[in-house]
């Protein structure tokens, strides 16, 4: 899989892709990430990427020319399954969407800033808008990092067996069960006996029961109708 990201703040994306699981996924060649500075496509003396909104009002708007030039340049090099704009207006990201996007080959993500991008970019180039929640971030970079993390960790080989994405919360519309590690007793609080029993089928049954209990308590809306 390859993901290209267009941003005015490339440094903001260095750390999420330069650490831990995403770093390893890149090193193993399981995902290629291209981070592109929109300013490199700006022309004119000041290399501006934003301008005042027609009609007035507070806030700058990301200009159509540098964005169009950037998107067209990247599209001339490969065919993208989707051109995504990270925006609070978009479809809300969930696990099902992350699963679907993990099957794609090439994605192009545009991170917005200021008051948003010139509407003509959305009309002519964007094929999907994705939101990570009902709140407004200062820009799309952190949202893009969240989206990419949720997708990339699902690619085969990114996680090892013990941390397999199949046992994640949400993967079967259930939250994850409680987990414990040593010591077996901490300030009088004991780890459930079943987890120390070595009886794998019973441990699995306990985990499932706890996952159902936790989901009913904390996120009843997630449960499938037949559960
Ligand atoms: N950009 C600003 N806010 C956002 C959000 N909630 N989701 C995705 N992109 C955004």
Q: What is the pLDDT along the chain (227 residues), one digit of tens a residue?
A: 999 999 999 999 999 999 999 999 999 999 999 999 999 999 989 999 999 999 999 999 999 999 999 999 999 999 999 999 999 999 999 999 999 999 999 999 999 998 999 999 999 999 999 999 999 999 999 999 999 999 999 999 999 865 567 667 777 889 999 999 999 999 999 999 999 999 999 999 999 999 999 999 999 999 865 44
Q: Is residue 50 part of a domain?
A: yes
Q: Which ligand 1 atom sits nearest the alpha carbon of residue 130?
A: 8
Q: Which ligand 1 atom sits nearest the alpha carbon of residue 138?
A: 2
Q: Is residue 87 part of a domain?
A: yes
Same domain, 113 and 192: no
Specify the pTM. Answer: 0.94
Pocket of ligand 1 (CB under 6 A): 86-88, 112, 131-133, 135-137, 140, 143
| The predicted structure's pLDDT at residue 166 | 66
Tell which of 118, 152, 186 closes a domain.
Answer: 152
Same domain, 105 and 198: no
Domain that holds residue 111: 2-152
Same domain, 116 and 11: yes
Same domain, 25 and 126: yes
Same domain, 34 and 98: yes
SS3 sequence of the chain = CEEEEEECCHHHHHHHHCCHHHHHHHHCCCCEEEEEEHHHHCCCCCCCCEEECCCCCCCEEECHHHHHHHHHHHHHHCCCCEEEEEEEEEEECCHHHHHHHCCCCEEEEEECCCCCECHHHHHHCCCEEEECCCCCCCCCHHHHHHHHHHHHCCCCCCCCHHHCHHHCCCCCCCCCCCCCCCCCEECCEECCHHHHCCCHHHHHHHHHHHHHHHHHHHCHHHCCCCC
Same domain, 89 and 174: no
| The predicted structure's pLDDT at residue 172 | 82
Same domain, 198 and 112: no
Same domain, 29 and 76: yes
Domain count, the chain: 2
Q: Is residue 138 part of a domain?
A: yes
Q: Is residue 164 part of a domain?
A: no
Same domain, 26 and 92: yes
Same domain, 173 and 207: yes
Q: How far is the CA of 140 from the centre of ligand 1 (A)?
A: 5
Same domain, 87 and 51: yes
């Amino acid at each position: 899989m390859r993901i290209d990201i267009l941003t005015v703040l490339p440094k903001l994306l260095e750390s999420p892709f330069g650490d831990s699981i995403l770093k390893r996924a890149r090193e193993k060649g399981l995902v290629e990430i291209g981070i592109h500075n929109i300013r490199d496509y700006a022309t004119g003396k000041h290399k501006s990427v934003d301008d005042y909104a027609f009609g007035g009002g507070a806030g700058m708007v990301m200009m159509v020319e540098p964005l169009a030039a950037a998107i067209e340049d990247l599209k001339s090099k490969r065919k993208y399954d989707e051109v995504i704009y990270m925006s609070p207006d978009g479809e809300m990201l969930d696990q099902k969407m992350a699963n679907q996007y993990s099957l794609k080959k090439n994605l192009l993500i545009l991170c917005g800033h200021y008051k948003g991008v010139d509407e003509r970019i959305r009309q002519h180039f964007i094929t999907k808008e994705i939101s990570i929640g009902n709140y407004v971030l200062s820009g799309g970079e952190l949202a893009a990092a969240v989206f990419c993390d949720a997708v990339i960790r699902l690619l085969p080989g990114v996680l090892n067996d013990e941390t397999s994405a199949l046992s994640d919360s949400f993967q079967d519309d259930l939250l994850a069960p409680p987990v414990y590690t040593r010591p077996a007793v901490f300030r009088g609080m004991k780890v459930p006996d079943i987890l120390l029993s070595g009886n794998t089928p019973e441990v699995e049954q306990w985990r499932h029961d706890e996952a159902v209990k936790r989901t009913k308590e904390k996120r009843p809306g997630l449960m499938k109708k037949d559960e």
